[in-house]
Every structure is written in structure tokens, then in C-alpha cells.
Amino acid sequence: MKFDKPYILKEVASWIGGEPIGDASFEILGINEIHVVEPGDITFVDHPKYYKKALNSAASVVIINRKMDPPAGKALIYHTDPFVAYNSIVKRFSRFSPASDRISDSAEIGEGTVIQPGVFIGEHVKIGKNCVIHANVTLYHDVIIGDNVIIHSGTVIGADAFYFQKRADGYHKMISGGRVIIEDDVEIGANCTIDRGVSADTVIGKGTKLDNLIQIGHDTVIGKNCLFAAQVGVAGAVTIGDNVVLWGQVGVQKDLTIGDGAVVLGQSGVSSSLEGGKTYFGSPAKEAREKMKELVYVTRIPELLERMKKENTD
Amino acid sequence: MKFDKPYILKEVASWIGGEPIGDASFEILGINEIHVVEPGDITFVDHPKYYKKALNSAASVVIINRKMDPPAGKALIYHTDPFVAYNSIVKRFSRFSPASDRISDSAEIGEGTVIQPGVFIGEHVKIGKNCVIHANVTLYHDVIIGDNVIIHSGTVIGADAFYFQKRADGYHKMISGGRVIIEDDVEIGANCTIDRGVSADTVIGKGTKLDNLIQIGHDTVIGKNCLFAAQVGVAGAVTIGDNVVLWGQVGVQKDLTIGDGAVVLGQSGVSSSLEGGKTYFGSPAKEAREKMKELVYVTRIPELLERMKKENTD
Amino acid sequence: MKFDKPYILKEVASWIGGEPIGDASFEILGINEIHVVEPGDITFVDHPKYYKKALNSAASVVIINRKMDPPAGKALIYHTDPFVAYNSIVKRFSRFSPASDRISDSAEIGEGTVIQPGVFIGEHVKIGKNCVIHANVTLYHDVIIGDNVIIHSGTVIGADAFYFQKRADGYHKMISGGRVIIEDDVEIGANCTIDRGVSADTVIGKGTKLDNLIQIGHDTVIGKNCLFAAQVGVAGAVTIGDNVVLWGQVGVQKDLTIGDGAVVLGQSGVSSSLEGGKTYFGSPAKEAREKMKELVYVTRIPELLERMKKENTD
């Protein structure tokens, strides 16, 4: 997420009670996790195992729990608990606020768009032209919707990421500061859930169609003209190409990539990245032809057992 | 779906910019897809492969993209894009309209029925006697509910079918003109989704009980006294008999039939039609006894491998 | 469930048209099913197979369909249909009532708690301090929520148990009289469903985090600091320990126990109780290591078949 304006190192360090290391007037433009960080961003690292990755990333400033010289052209903020420090910055820029009305004053709604009764629209939501938002849909703050989008009843867009850090006293929540972007011509079925990004955006690409009861995790980016059948679940930080088809009740684990034109058959469980242009089946998912063969092989085990028994008798 | 009144061939052709072939005063009573078409209906066909099927179906009028003589007693409408023409007729008769109130003026609600806060009821909905519709339920237009029905919160009945035609420029939506019919004594859990038929009706039979988070696709017809556990997903155009039990997270593919009294164990994936009176398990689902045996066979492979290894050593 | 005050045997028998057997002034404190019954409770039994279990249970009074002497220190109520009699007592004490407002007068809401628009809160709901209840959440009556709890949009807490008795004329519903208890620091995702207990309580333990579209059945008790990913389904009367992790789309059958610290991998189907501290996979679920080995074994069947073929040729 980008800040509303640049802030200088000294000021950001003061928000979190950290110690700036480097030029006090160094400008910070936004905040992101390590895997989506961009130049100008601040990120954090709290384990020596990841120090090198963080310091060599695109981040301009790193919150870190060891004092050291910053890499060339970068700055650091020393803090004993970088996760807490990072979270408190995200929270400062998060635009959730208790609402008194069903449709926030800051929402922008395009011409020809129908908003049915019972819809909740949070702060800073933008909806394009000629959309239909059916009854009892919930759009949290900072959800951006294109033109000609249809969202069916009960669907919830922009709830928090399911993202926690386990500590001795239980799970600590990573605050979600990202957005959800729904591009033009998307249709989303009833009672779906599409979480906002933690620091980046969750994106549903142009022309993609989702059936009912589908889960899309935080920071997941789905391409154009995909088709997902009912009860599909996609975890967080997944990247899905264009023209991908996921049949009913497919599950996709976090951090994976699925290539353009892949087809995943019903109830499959995707536990590793998939090349595009192929058809997959099974839990864990394999190429469907291979999996289908395995299903036949299993039915031939009795022959093998019979043979073994016979040999033992001979 | 039936029209509000009969329309003549000439008039219907003029709506869609098509060319009537046959008696201009030929009467058309309704519109349906090929597999549910009835005498008096208009249907469409856009691929030569299906011409014969459409022309020999019960349809009285066929929208077709080739000029030819109509079969005896029937009429045709020539149109270069029958899918688009068909869709535009359905749309003309679809009764969805933007609502200003949570309960439409045209809704009929029976004596003794409780409607909790936050419920949305669309146009032309009928609800029988002594029902309870819990908070935040959504009933789209043209949903028909019998007596003594209980619908739990968050459930959405009558959203559009998930039915698209793939074209060069992306997915084109088949407009849903059918209804949902919920018969007497049905109970539906929380956050379920039951889609309307595309041209016919989605039906939940008398006395059937659905748990939470269940998906029922368009045009699916479910018999009497069935029991479906939570998170079951049934695709479109499925026919399920009476007294069928589907345990949790079962998935059923489209266009299949499940016979009376079938039992499908948890997480099974039904990919072909099932005979009644038997118990099934697995993904894809088989008779449970057979599947259970296979699960045991697999555990005996190490013995077989051991034997082979020993033979190779000998 | 406990009654609002003690009632005497004679009075309770009169409610249901039953015949009291024992001291007419015997006090009854509450009502529960056989497996959760406590001293002072009334329960029921309608099949000779279970007479002994019911009469030897902690129950102080048993509704039974055979006349006999009560065990020492207990009383009976003779009734020809104990299930119906039991249900009618539960119904008498159930606190569901048609609501005119979105937030009931009897609800208690703690300091610092945010209730977003469109939330429904039934009778006798208690919500602690510093909670956030997001838009369009539904809390049925008798839901008890601790401090610092977050509930995301569309979630439904306290719907009826999915619990029916099959009879010649169809399914008869077991009336749900229990509660739901959500302890401190719990976060529940969007569009989840958590059913109330039939006679006891459904409990989500302190610090537990649920993702979206999760189903938790009636009377299920979940420990502290558990983590359940999206689309998990847990049936009724399940007992889950502390620090249990269920990955996405896992299903758990009814009446089972899962020990502390167990981890169940995605899409697994738990069909028997699981020891704590281990990792499980598959449908049905086994220890993950074992299951992973089986998946490899299956890929070696072709070698075995090849060998058999060769032997047959030799």
C-alpha cells in the first residue's frame, strides 16, 4: 500500500518508537511485505535468516531487530519487535472506520449501476458503470469495482486476510491494509468471500466468472476470463493466469502459480504450481491422464495379490 | 418458462430482428432450452451438429442460423446468432427489477409466516403459511415457497445460473428466466445458495432438509425427504430422487441422475449417474464396499514390492 | 440447557401429557440429551436398546415409553412418544421469538464494541468489550460473545442444529435449545455458520481463529488457539483440543475427538478420532507420512503389472 503522501524516515521511526539509521529526511512512499515490496517502500524483517533477503529487496527502508549499517542508498529503522512496528504503521493508514450508514459518503457509484436493498458499502469504495450489486452484499472499505460487474447476494468483498503470526501468547494478527480490485465484466456468485490484500491488492481479472460460495484469499491475483465453479477455495498470495478453469470444490494452496489455460477438475487439491494448458485431477493434483491411469492401476491390485498368493502356494 | 400470454411468430421474430419461416400467426407459449422444451415453446440451435435434435424436439418453433423449411406443424425463425436472439427473448420476460424496498409489493406472504429483519424479498415471490424466514435471507424474484418452510439466515435463493457460452471476446451469459420452487416442510440451513433455473425451475422437494453452506445449481430437481449435510455442492441440471442422503462436502457434477434412496458418503465426488438404494464413496464415487476394498488393497502394495525385490535378488 | 428455575415432576409431566412415576415434587433443573446430561436434568429414551443407558445416566428424570419403577433417587415420566415430549419441553424454553428490530432490547453490548450496519442481534445475546461485528452478520438469540472478538460479514451464529429423527412420515426436527459461546480473542471470517447446541453449548475457545466459509455443527466444542482455514466443515458433537490446525476444506465427521496440537492437511476427511500432536492427510485421514507413502506406492503398480505380464509370457 502507498501512503497518502511521502513521510520522512525520522517521522516514521517516531510513530513506532524505533531508532532511524540513515538520512533522517529519507522519504518513504508506502509499506509492503517483503515479497511485494517496491522502491520507496518500507518493509520489515525479524529473523536473521531473512535479513539478507530483506536488505537486498526493492525496499528502501527496512525495520529490523539488529543495529547495523544500511545498504547503499537505503535506510533502516531499528526496533526490537519489527512485526508489531510494521503492523502499527499499516493500522495508521488502514481506512476501516465504524459506519453509521449502509452506504458511506465517500463511496463513488457509476451511472446505471443498481444497488439493491441491504447492501453495505464501506469508505472509499468505487463502483463503475452499469453494475448490479444484489441485496445483502457487503463491500468493505477500499474495494474498487469496474464496469458491467454483477455481484450476487450475500457475497463479502474486502474482509481481512487470514494471516497470523504465532507467538507464545497466541496468534497475533497481521493487519490488512491492501485493497480488492474487481475488473470490468466480472460476475461473482452468491455468498462468496474475497479477502483484501495484506499490503498489496487482491485482483479478479476482466471477464472472469465466479460461481457461488467461492473463497479467494488475500493478495491473490486472478487473470482474465477465468471460470471457477461453486465452492472453489483459493488461498492467499496465489497467482492464476488467464482462461483458467477450476471445477467445483477445487482447493488451491497459498503462494502457488497456475498457468494460462490450465483446467483443474472437481475436488482436486492443488499443492504445487501448475503449468498452463494442461488438465489436472486429484488431491494432490496431477495431470489428469496420469491420475486416471492410477485409478485404474488400483483396481488391478487384486490380480497381483492373487498371483502372489498362488506363487506362495506353489 | 411460459410467457404471460401467447405471442405470434411474426411478433417474436420482430423482437429479435429475425426472419420468420412458416405461418406468421403461429402461436408461441413459452421459451426453453432444448433439454426441457415443451410443445408450444420456442428454443434455439446454433450448431449444425444439433440441428436434427432441435428440429425433432418438442419445440414448436426453433431459432436457427440456417434457412430451411420447417418440419411439419412447426415454424422457424432464421437469425445469424440464435444464442443472442434466445437470450434477448428471455430477458424480455425476466422479472428482475431494481428494488427500493426490502419486501416487494408483489410478494405474497401466507398466514403465520415470520419474516425476520434484513430479509430481502423480490418481485412475484410467494411464501406459504407458517414459515420462518430468518434474518438476512435473500429471496430474488419469482421464488415460490410452500407451507411450514424454515430458511436460515444468509441463505440466497434465486440468484442467476452459472451458465456461460465461451466466445472469442470472453464469456457470454445465458440469461436466467426460470424460477425456484421450495415445497412444503423443507428446511434450509444458513448461507446456502440455490440458483434459479435457466428456463425451467429449480425444485427442492417436500420434506427435504439441507444443512448449511450448500450449493444447488440451476434447474436441479431434488426429490422428497432428502437429507444433505453441510457444504454439499450440486451442479446444474441434476435430478435427485426421494430419500437420498448426501453427507458433508459431497460434490455432484452437472446433468446427472441419482436414484431414490442412494447414500453418498462424505467428500465423495459424483461424476456419473448413480443407481438408487446403494451407498457410494470416493472421488470419483463408486459403490462404497468396492472403494473400501481398494483402500485396503493400496496398503498391500509394499508386500508386492517386497516380493518383486526379493525375486530380482534371487 | 438449564431451566429458568426448578420445576416439579408433576408439573413437567402435565406439560407433555405424560404420567409421572415417582415423587410428584421431585425437582427438575434442566433438560439435555443423553450424552451431555447432568444431575437434575430430564432426558428421554424411546428405544429399549437404550433404556439401560438412559436409566443409568446422570439424568434425574427420564421420559420413557414403558411403565416401570424408577431407579433409586430418580423419577420417570411415562409417555408414548418420548421424542415428541422432549421436543415440546425444549420448545417451551427456547428463546427464539419474531423480531421487529435489528438489535433486540435484551441484547447486552460491551463498551468499545462496534456493530456495523445490517447486523441482526437476537434476544438474550451478550457481546463483550472491544469487539467488531461487521456488516450483515446474524446473531440468533442466546449467543454469548467474549471480549476482543472480530466477526466478519455474512457470518451466521446460532442457527438451529441439523438434527432430525426419521419417521414414517418424514424427518422430525429436534428442537435446538442450546447456546453458542464465543470466547475472548476469537476471530471468525466471513460467511461462516456456527450452529447452536441442541441442548448443550457450541463453544469456540479463546484465541481460536476461523477463516471464511467454515461450518461448525451443533454442540461442537473447539479448544483454544486453534487455526481453521477456509471452507473447513466440522459436524455436530465434535470435541477439538487446543492448538489444532485444520487446513482448507477439511471435513470432520460427527461425535469425534481431535487431540491437542493435531494438524490435518487440506481436503482431508476425518472419519475417526485423532490423537494429538500428529499430522494427518487423506480422505479418510491417516497419519500424513503413511498416506504420502501410499501415494508413492500407487505409482509403482505399473512395475508390478509389467513384471506379472513378463512372467505370464515367459
Q: Which three cell numbers stand for residue C68?
A: 416401570
Q: What's the whole-number mean pLDDT along residues A305-312?
A: 84
Residues constituting chain C: 314
Of the candidates A152, A299, A308, the beta carbon closest to that of B160 is on A152
| pLDDT for the residue numbered A13 | 97
Judge whether B267 is closer than 8 Å to chain C, CB to CB: yes
Neighbours of B, requiring at least 3 CB pairs below 8 Å, are A, C
**Smallest CA–CA separation between A2 and chain C, in Å?**
25
For helices C82-93 and C9-16, the axis angle rounded to 10 degrees is 110
pLDDT at site B238? 98
pLDDT for res B282: 97
Among C79, C141, C152, C218, the active-site one is: C218
- pLDDT of res. C308: 84
Cβ–Cβ contact C154 with A under 8 A: yes
Q: What is the pLDDT of residue B100?
A: 87
Q: What is the pLDDT along chain C (314 residues), one digit of tens a residue?
A: 899 999 999 999 999 999 999 998 899 999 999 888 999 999 999 999 999 999 999 999 999 999 999 999 999 999 999 999 999 999 999 889 999 899 999 999 999 999 999 999 999 999 999 999 999 999 999 999 999 999 999 999 999 999 999 999 999 999 999 999 999 999 999 999 999 999 899 999 999 999 999 999 999 999 999 999 999 999 999 999 999 999 999 999 999 999 999 999 999 999 999 999 999 999 999 999 999 999 999 999 999 998 888 877 76
3-class state of residue B52 by DSSP: helix
| Chain A contact present for B117, CB below 8 A | no
Q: What is the mean pLDDT of residues A103-109?
A: 97
A40 touches B: beta carbon within 8 Å: no
Residue B310 in this model has a pLDDT that exceeds 90: no
Cβ C44 vs Cβ C19: under 8 Å: no
Q: Sheet containing A143-145: which strands, arranged edge to edge?
A: A108-109, A126-127, A143-145, A179-182, A201-204, A221-222, A239-240, A257-258
- Secondary structure (DSSP) of A265-278: -TT-EE-S-B-TT-
* CA contacts within 13 A on the Cβ side of A256: 18
B–C CB contacts, 8 A cutoff, strictly below: 136
State the helix-helix crossing angle for A301-313 and B288-299, rounded to 10 degrees.
50
- Check if A301 contacts C (Cβ < 8 Å): yes
Residues of B in contact with A305 (CB under 8 A): 297, 300, 304
- The pLDDT confidence band at residue A307, using thresholds 50, 70 and 90, is confident
What's the confidence (pLDDT) of residue C35?
Answer: 85
Helix axis angle for A301-313 and B301-313, nearest 10°, is 50
Instruction: Determine the pLDDT at residue C173.
Output: 96
- The reply to whether A248 touches chain B by the CB within 8 Å rule is yes
| Backbone conformation region of residue C17, classed left if phi is above 0, alpha if psi is from -120 to 50, else beta | left
Only one residue has cell 412420515, namely: C169
**Is there a contact between C120 and B114 if contact means CB atoms under 8 Å apart?**
no
Are C120 and B212 in contact (CB < 8 Å)?
A: no
Q: Name all domains of chain B by residue range, CATH numbers in brackets.
A: 2-93 (3.40.1390.10), 108-291 (2.160.10.10)
Determine which helix (DSSP H) or strand (DSSP E) holds B62, and give its type and residue range: strand B61-64
Question: Which residues of A are less than 8 Å from C225 in CB distance?
Answer: 170-171
pLDDT of A291 higher than 80: yes
For residue A229, the SS3 value is coil
Burial class (CB within 10 angstroms; exposed 0-12, middle 13-18, buried 19+) of C101 = exposed
d(CA B266, CA B264): 7
Instruction: Please write down the HEC assignment for all residues of C112-176.
Output: CCEECCCCEECCCCEECCCCEECCCCEECCCEEECCCCEECCCCEEEECCCCEEEECCEEEECCC
Alpha helices by DSSP H, listed for A273-313, are 288-299, 301-313
What pTM did the predictor assign?
0.96
Q: Please tell me the distance from the alpha carbon of residue C154 to that of residue C192, in angstroms, as a whole number.
A: 7
Using DSSP, state whether C25 is helix, strand or coil.
coil
Neighbour tally for A142: CB within 10 Å: 25
- Is A138–C118 a contact, with Cβ atoms under 8 angstroms apart? yes
User: Which residues 163-222 of B are in CB contact (within 8 Å) with A?
Assistant: 164, 170-171, 173, 191-193, 195, 213, 215, 217
The continuous run of DSSP H or E covering A157 comes out as strand A156-157
C-alpha cell at A162: 487470514
- List CB contacts (< 8 A) between B217 and chain A: 230
Please indicate if any CB of chain B lies within 8 Å of the CB of C136.
Answer: yes
Chain A within 8 Å of C231 (Cβ-Cβ)? yes
Length, in residues, of chain B: 314
Contact C227 A307 (CB under 8 A): no
3-state class of B144 per DSSP?
strand
Contacts of A217 in chain C (CB under 8 A): 230
Q: Cβ of A304 and C299 within 8 Å? A: no
Burial of C126 (0-12, 13-18, 19+ CB in 10 A): middle
For the residues B290-298, what does the mean pLDDT come to?
Answer: 95
Q: State whether residue C117 sits within 8 Å of chain A by CB.
A: yes
Contact C240, C259 (CB under 8 A): no
C-beta atoms of B231 and C233 within 8 A: yes
Q: Does residue A253 belong to the interface with chain C, where contact is any CB pair within 8 Å? A: yes
The vertex-B281 CA angle with B193 and C291, nearest 5°, equals 105
Closest Cβ–Cβ partner in B102, B159, B301 for A301? B301
pLDDT, residue A309, reads: 83
Are the Cβ atoms of C134 and A118 closer than 8 angstroms? no
Q: Assess B305–C contact: CB distance below 8 Å, yes or no.
A: yes
Is C91 strand, coil or helix? helix
Contact across the interface for C171 and B207, Cβ inside 8 Å: yes
Q: What confidence tens digit (pLDDT) does each residue in B193-206 have?
A: 999 999 899 999 99
CA distance C139 to C296: 47
Q: Which residue of C has its CA nearest to B282?
A: C283
pLDDT at A203 over 80: yes
C120 close to B (CB below 8 A)? yes
Q: Residue B73 gets which letter from DSSP? A: T
How many other CB atoms are found less than 10 A from the CB of residue C68? 12
Distance from C243 to chain B by nearest Cα, in Å?
A: 24
Phi-psi region of B142 (alpha: psi -120 to 50; beta: other; left: phi over 0): left
pLDDT at B313 over 80: no
The Cα of B211 is separated from the nearest Cα of chain C by a number of Å equal to 6
pLDDT at position A253 over 90: yes
- Burial annotation B192-206 (CB, 10 A radius, 16+ → b, else e): bbbbbbbbbbbbbbb
Say yes or no for a CB contact (<8 Å) between A294 and C283.
no
A206 three-state secondary structure: coil
Beta strands in C200-238 (DSSP E): 201-204, 209-210, 215-216, 221-222, 227-228, 233-234
In whole angstroms, what is the distance from residue C219 CA to residue B253 CA?
32
Asked if the Cβ–Cβ distance from B162 to A189 is below 8 Å, we say yes
pLDDT of residue A255 exceeding 90: yes
Which chain C positions have a beta carbon within 8 Å of A264's beta carbon? none
**Contact by Cβ (8 Å): B26, B60:** yes
pLDDT at C309: 84
More confident residue, C141 or B95: C141
What pLDDT, on a 0 to 100 scale, did the predictor assign at position C289?
Answer: 97
Counting every residue, how long is chain A?
Answer: 314
The single-letter DSSP state of residue A140 is: -
Evaluate if residue B265 carries a pLDDT over 80.
Answer: yes
- The shortest CB-CB distance from B298 to any of C138, C160, C294 is to C294
User: By the CB < 8 Å criterion, does A65 face chain C?
Assistant: no
- The residues of B assigned a catalytic role are 218
Which residues of A are catalytic, by number?
218
Of B154, B301, B305, the CB nearest to C154: B154
Could you tell me the end-to-end alpha-carbon distance of chain B, in angstroms, rounded to an integer? Answer: 74
Q: Do the chains contact at C235 and B248, CB–CB below 8 Å?
A: yes
For chain C, which chains pass the contact test of at least 3 CB pairs under 8 Å?
A: A, B
Give me the residues paired with residue B287 across strands: B280
A296 touching C, CB under 8 A? no
Cis omega (within 30 of 0) for bond into C284: yes
Which residues of chain B make contact with A183, given a CB cutoff of 8 A?
A: none
Q: What is the mean pLDDT of chain A?
A: 96
Each residue's pLDDT tens digit, A146-181: 999 999 999 999 999 999 999 999 999 999 999 999
A130-140 per-position pLDDT tens digit:
999 999 999 99
